[in-house]
Chain A
């Protein structure tokens, strides 16, 4: 079956540090890949997505590239802010049923 593995948190960084959250997946065929973000007390919201190999999704300074050869979709940001503190979920979608990773908590200190 499909599965998503992402690095365990929490990830703790100082403001303006570089962020990487690793995500790898297992799936048949060619799934679409997503990163969602959940701020405290809220539901998840889409951060970025990529629908085919070598696509790069980007939003709010975050980027992730769909790497089929390594089955990965790592999330990166060059300079994090305190307001980026949240839980980040990697997910894939094959047909209409999604598979989520367990989430990675990011804490950014001033």
Chain B
């Protein structure tokens, strides 16, 4: 059974902290994605990666960075967390256009 896992289901951080969200997939997929999901706004793409060490900005990259050192792992980094980054963060990998999602991390920044 294919799987995308995320390091935490719930996370609470303080303003200004550096936050790492980890995502791992076991399907050997080339493409990986980070989204945030907010009520009324749907899914918004933050960053994606189509190969190891390759990354591209999505629609809302400001305040975020990413790292992909290994094919199976794609990390989202909040350099200095702010309260407007409180959200649900979803990681996905894809194959032939179909997306495979992790369970999500609900991040609260106080």
Which residues on the B side are within 8 Å of A34 (C-beta)?
97-99
The stretch of B13-21, B40-48, B61-69, B77-85 that contacts the partner chain: B40-48
Check if A32 sits within 8 Å of B42, measured CB to CB: no
Which single residue of chain B is at the shortest CB-CB distance from A92? B97
Check if A42 sits within 8 Å of B103, measured CB to CB: yes
The stretch of A13-21, A59-67, A73-81, A98-106 that contacts the partner chain: A98-106
Interface string of B97-108 (1 = CB under 8 A from A): 111111110000
Which residues on the B side are within 8 Å of A44 (C-beta)?
43, 90, 92, 99, 101
Range of interface residues on chain B?
Answer: 20 to 34
Range of interface residues on chain A?
Answer: 20 to 34
A22 to chain B, nearest CB (A): 16
A20 to chain B, nearest CB (A): 20
Which residues on the B side are within 8 Å of A96 (C-beta)?
31, 50, 94, 97
Which residues on the B side are within 8 Å of A49 (C-beta)?
98
Cβ 8 A contact of A97, one of B41, B48, B90: B48
Which single residue of chain B is at the shortest CB-CB distance from A6? B42
A50 to chain B, nearest CB (A): 11
Q: Interface on chain B toward A: helix, strand, loop, or mixed SS?
A: strand
Which residues on the B side are within 8 Å of A98 (C-beta)?
33, 94, 97, 99
* Cα–Cα, bound, A51→B96 (Å): 10
Which residues on the B side are within 8 Å of A25 (C-beta)?
none
Which single residue of chain B is at the shortest CB-CB distance from A36? B99
* Cα–Cα, bound, A100→B4 (Å): 19
Check if B102 sits within 8 Å of A43, measured CB to CB: yes
* Cα–Cα, bound, A51→B40 (Å): 28
**Contact surface of A with B, Cβ cutoff 8 Å:** 31-32, 34, 36, 42-46, 49, 51, 89, 91, 93, 96-98, 100-103
**Contact surface of B with A, Cβ cutoff 8 Å:** 4, 31, 33, 40-43, 45, 48, 50, 90, 92, 94, 96-104
- Pull 9 A–B residue pairs with CB atoms less than 8 Å apart, ordered by A: A32-B97, A34-B98, A43-B92, A43-B102, A89-B42, A93-B98, A96-B31, A97-B45, A103-B43
